[in-house]
Amino acid sequence: MLSYQDLKRVVDDGLLFPHGIREEMFQPASIDLTLSDSFYDPHSGQSYRDVALTLEPDDFTLGCTVERIHVPRSYAVQVNGKSSLARQGLLVHATAGFVDPGFEGQITLELKNLSKDPIVLLTGMRIAQVHVFALSSATLVAYGNPKLGSHYQGQSGAQPAADLW
């Protein structure tokens, strides 16, 4: 897993985040990501934009990060929630927190309120963090390769589940 100085180097070299990351987003071994205004309600099948989202108890919706990421072939990324939001009962990914080498796009977040109280989410708030792992060697077959059937390459905005069949 990359540490602060290695994360800074990778980002400064233009890898991972093509549009850069603000200095205050760097943590000792992670990079914070912020919430976009793009959401998708899987129950209604509707995409929508909002600057504030109130997740009622047991609500589930898809959101995404403001930041676009490009994972080089020699790295992989794990998305996790921020501890302050997790302690309020917010889950930012159900099981899909792994980002493969070669992925490019905004990261879709699976937002679930596990608490008994509403949780208010604001566009631009720090919602998640990524941990970056160096692979033992650059992968020869990266996400987006046609033979993999990668569904979400280049995604922009909160994306619904792809048809897997």
Whether 145 is in a domain gets the answer no
The residue that leads in pLDDT, 83 or 95, is 83
Strand order in the sheet with 75-81: 31-34, 126-134, 75-81, 98-99
Structural domain boundaries enclosing 128: 4-135
Q: Please report, in angstroms and rounded to a whole number, the separation of the first and last CA atoms in the chain.
A: 34
Which CA distances in Å does 90 have to 8, 116, 117, 153? 28, 11, 10, 26
Measured CA to CA, the distance from residue 46 to residue 3 in angstroms comes to 39
Active site residue 110: yes
pLDDT band for position 143 (cuts 50, 70, 90): confident
Whether 162 is in a domain gets the answer no
Share of the chain above pLDDT 70, in %: 92
Whether 161 is in a domain gets the answer no
Q: Average of pLDDT values for 51-76?
A: 95
Whether 144 is in a domain gets the answer no
**Which member of 23, 67, 104, 110 is catalytic?**
110
Q: What is the pLDDT of residues 94-110, one digit of tens each?
A: 888 899 999 999 999 99
Whether 141 is in a domain gets the answer no
Whether 109 is in a domain gets the answer yes
Cβ atoms of residues 112 and 96 within 8 Å: no
Of 114, 125, 127, 98, nearest to 60 by C-alpha is: 114
Given a cut of 70, whether residue 71 has pLDDT beyond it is yes
Measured CA to CA, the distance from residue 8 to residue 102 in angstroms comes to 20
Backbone angles phi, psi at 104, to 5 degrees: -140, 130
pLDDT band for position 163 (cuts 50, 70, 90): low
Please state the domain count of the chain.
Answer: 1
Measured CA to CA, the distance from residue 132 to residue 49 in angstroms comes to 29
Whether 131 is in a domain gets the answer yes
CATH label of the domain that carries residue 25: 2.70.40.10
Whether 149 is in a domain gets the answer no
